[in-house]
Structure formats: C-alpha cells, structure tokens
Structure 1
C-alpha cells in the first residue's frame, strides 16, 4: 500500500520522464515546422484547447485509479452545460443556474455510483447507459428551440475574460488542478482511491468502505464534467445537442497518456495535465500544418500509442 502511494506522481522522476519527453519533442517539432506555433496568440489558444478536456480528465483519473471507468462524462458535460444555459435563458439568476448545473452533474455521478455498487452493474454498462440517457435529455431540451441568447457579460467573462492577461478558463483550471492534486496526494480519500484500485478485497478487509469510495469518486467525476460543461457553455455562449461528444474518450486518453493505469492503483494529477496538453498540441499542430482531416485520427492514435509505450518502457526499466 505504501509503495503504491509513493508512485502516485512519477512525472518528473527518471521513472516517469516518458510523457514529458513526448511533450518536449512535439513542442520542438512544431516550433521548427510551423512559423506560427511560437506566437502568444497560438500558445494561448493551445492552453484554451486543453483546459476543457483537462478538467474532465481529472475526474476520469480518479475513476480509473479506483479501477472503474466512466463513459458518461461527455454527455454529462453537454447536459449540465445545457441546463445552465436553459435556466439562464428562462430568466434564472446566473449563479443559481451554474449551481444547478454542477449539482445535476454530481447527482448523476452519485446515481452511477449507486448503480455500480448497490445493483452490481458493471461500470462500463452503467456509465454507457448514462451516456445515452444524458444525451437524450439534452436532445429533448434543444429539439424545440436552440439554447442561445442567454449569456450575460458576467457569464461570458467566466470563459472569455482575462485576469492580468491570463484567460479565465486557464486560471479556473489551475485552481481545479491544485484542489485535485491536494485531494489525491494529501488526503485519506486519495489514499483510499489508490488502495481500492490496487486491491479491492484487501482495502475492504482493512476497513475501507469501498462502496462509499466508489460513489464519491463517481460523484467527483460528474461534478468535474459538469464544471467543464459550464465553462464550455460560457465559451460558446450557445448549447448544441452534440456538445461534449467524444470528451469521454479524450479524457481517458489524457489520463492514460499521463500515466494512469487502466487496471487501477496508479494515477497522476500532473500526468493528466500533461496528457491533455499533448492532445491539444497534436490537434493544434495538425491545424497549423494543414493536415488533411482524414489523417488526423490516425496520427493522433499513433501519438497516443507512442506516448503510452514510451512511458511504460521507461517505467519498466526502473521497476
């Protein structure tokens, strides 16, 4: 147990240099191949591209480290962002609308956790079903009339404003990062998450309420997905029926690239942040290089496999 907790953040040690190395190599490659890459505007856009996935991926990292999976986060993002916009469009106070969106995401996460722990439905099936339920609810909200013309200047500022030249979404994501880092590395909750993912039976026998941990982790995942939904809604100032589609896959990719184990017991908040930036870097670089859309998924997949392979290789050499 103690050994596992010491491996929570292997990002800047010799053991975990694979992912930062991929990040540096991509950065250097794009700096050389595109004259537009190293501009303030482009780097700012790069950070903005990464933060929405990053916030979702923090929650996904907790779920994967615990040994679960959450395929519903993209739909939760869309639904909770949509509910926030819909409430504001109908004259509800901005802060109440935001709290309602966050509360809804948390409740959906709790419901996922209850399905998994009490009804013994597999995490894959439970969250896969919720993916469709949440997406269907969003479609119902948007089928009669689009959700738009609701954004007040204060709401726009959340994702479009700047403080000392730094975009607000970046500052908000930094706060979320610090909170998740503290929660994962410095609290009993974080240690219990790793313990449950490492060996559920041993964790149960040691007195950890594994069901409670699972429900709380899925609640956290839902909350963070909803938070990303509010941010994205503020950024777009409109809600589309397919908003958040594929975010669950991007979040899993960011977490796994960052060193989180798909089998549980190992995760890194710092690694997730790097993984999300790598995904944004790939997308941004392909845009700058005008790569044909048909090749993008292939190239992105190859880079993900390479990043994970390098990380696993460097880790195995020092284990």
Structure 2
C-alpha cells in the first residue's frame, strides 16, 4: 500500500487555508478570535478608554504598515521606518520651538509649518533611500539599515537624547488628543490613507506600475516602466507615512523625542506580512494590511491588560512575524505547485 503525500483531506484543508488567506487574509479572523476571548475573560477590554487606546494604536501601526506595504510590493524592505519616525518627531518639535519664539501669537500658522517640516523631512529621507537603492543599486536591506543608523546617530547628536519641547497646545489638543465622535482623530486619517493607497494600486497606472516592478522588474522596464522612479516613489511614500507617525507622537506627547519609533519598523513589516503582502513582491492589499495592524493592536492591548512585560511583548511580535513569514513562504510554494499542474 502506498501513500500519496499530495492527496487526501490534508491537502484539501491546506488548499482551503491558502485560498482563504489569499482572499480574506488571516488577520481579521484572528483579531475576531482574540477580541472574543478578551470579551469573555477581561471586563476592562470593553471599556471606552481601552477601546480608544486600541483604535489609536491600530491607527499608528496601520499608517506605518501602509508605507511598508508599498515598498514590500516592489520586492524590497524599509528598515529605516523607526529612525524616520524619530527624525520627523524631533524636526517637528524643533521647528515649532523656534517659530514659537518668533511668532508667539500665531500658533495655528506655526503648527502647520512644523507639521509640514516633519512630513517633508520624512519624505526626503525616504526618497534618499530610494535613490541609494535604485541608482546606486545597493541592497535595500543594507541601505536602509545604514540610513537608519545614520539618521538615529544624527538625531541623538542634534538633541543629546533630550526631549525637544515647545509644541503649541493647539497641536497637542487637536492632533495628539483630538477626538471626532468619541473616536481618535488619527483613525479617520488612517482610513482615508487606506482608501488612497487602495485607489492608487487598484485604479491608477502608477499603481499597476508598482505591481509590475514587484512582479518582474526586467519585464516592466522592457514595457517602458521606470523601476527607478517607482522605487524612489514607494520609499518616499514610506518615509512620508513614517513621518506622519512621528508628527502624531510629537503632538500626543508634547515633545519631540529621539527614542520614538524603536519598534515601528518591525510592527509595520509584521502588519504588512500578516495582511498578506508577499515578501517576494508583486502583490499587496491595503485593506488586509489594515486588518494586520488591527491584529497587532489587539494583541498588544491584550498583553498590556494581562500585565505582560514589554520585553516579552517584543518576543511575541517576533514570533508572529516569523509565523507570518512561514505562511507567506508556504503560500508562495503552493502557488508555484498549482501553476505547474
């Protein structure tokens, strides 16, 4: 009697799992399971304040993950996200600090200029990453590790590791702690960002070019697409989204801090991979990435309520990322086998 390893109920179950992951993703159903478990075991989970915290954390992770998704779709990775968060935070606070001395009665105008400065420096840093990778042909992993170290070093030299104060109340009240209908203001910005990224990828030529470069860069170039422009664009977008997170942290804490964003890069990658973004590029869905961010926010909140040490939480997120990467590899292998049949 012989045993066929590629037949039987196990194969059908595996195929169904991969098909479900491809269509819906695992982040949403896993989030629902965790929420259900918390509802049954932890009364504090459903309090208004805790729900606010979950949605706020989700918004931060999802914003960073959207930028990371665009980079991953091209078959590359951005490990400088956390450093850009810190850079944008310190830049925003420093500009605000100086301008408030010059225009003490124009807080709204000063706040706008400070935010624009933080967002601009983030996009420029991301564009620099794209230039190193697309023009100098550096490996994205090495290039973004290097720029991350350079940026963090420069930020620490700039601030001596001391928080930069001087953030006007209009920014802390309306951006950092702002609410709309009882929900974090950042949540609405995140939902708008998800829609914009989805629209770009699904409804524009530029989005199709991003997917084409990730699927087959050589073929895309033959078709007249400029991989250099695409790579620079997605890294600039990643820097911009990271800067959004940095500006938000500055408004929320009332200061710019060089230590912000320490775990942001890992969270962004994890949320994207859990959301079904292929590590080999060529595919990505911002809506599923959004659910990946929700999953991480719910897990992190559950661990906080259980009073799990923050160091152990990093370990948990590392395990989640590893599991997601293994699932991505298995899904890709199953897809290749299906294509060979």
Other-structure match for 2:120: 103
Asked if residue 277 in structure 1 is aligned to residue 285 in structure 2, the reply is no
Asked if residue 59 in structure 1 is aligned to residue 67 in structure 2, the reply is yes
Other-structure match for 1:73: 81
Name which of 195, 198, 223 aligns with 2:212: 195
Secondary structure (helix, strand or coil) at the match of 1:147 reads coil
Other-structure match for 2:107: none
Other-structure match for 2:94: 86
Displacement of 1:266 in angstroms is 1.1
Other-structure match for 1:179: 196
Q: What does 1:23-172 align with in structure 2 at a 5 Å threshold?
A: 23-91=31-99, 93-143=110-160, 146-172=163-189
Q: State the number of aligned residues.
A: 310
Superposition TM-score, scaled by structure 2 size: 0.84
Q: Which moved more, 1:251-260 or 1:100-109?
A: 100-109
Name which of 239, 242, 250 aligns with 1:225: 242
Aligned mates of 1:216, 1:14 — CA distance in 2 = 26
Other-structure match for 1:7: none
Displacement of 1:297 in angstroms is 3.3
Displacement of 1:91 in angstroms is 2.0
Contact residue 18 and residue 310 of structure 1 kept, 8 A: no
Displacement of 1:31 in angstroms is 1.4
Q: Which moved more, 1:205-214 or 1:309-318?
A: 309-318
Other-structure match for 2:278: 261
Contact residue 181 and residue 269 of structure 1 kept, 8 A: yes
What residue ranges of structure 1 are gaps of 5+ in the alignment? 1-9
Q: Which moved more, 1:288-297 or 1:204-213?
A: 288-297
Q: Which moved more, 1:151-160 or 1:261-270?
A: 151-160
Aligned mates of 2:45, 2:226 — CA distance in 1 = 49
Deviations 1:271-306 (A, max 9, x none): 111111111111100111223445433433344445
Q: Which has the higher contact order (CA 8 A, sep 6+)?
A: 1
Q: CA RMSD in A?
A: 2.4
Displacement of 1:313 in angstroms is 6.7
- CA 47–264 in structure 1, closer or farther in 2 if over 3 Å, else same: same
Displacement of 1:177 in angstroms is 1.6
Contact residue 61 and residue 269 of structure 1 kept, 8 A: yes
What residue ranges of structure 2 are gaps of 5+ in the alignment? 1-17, 101-109
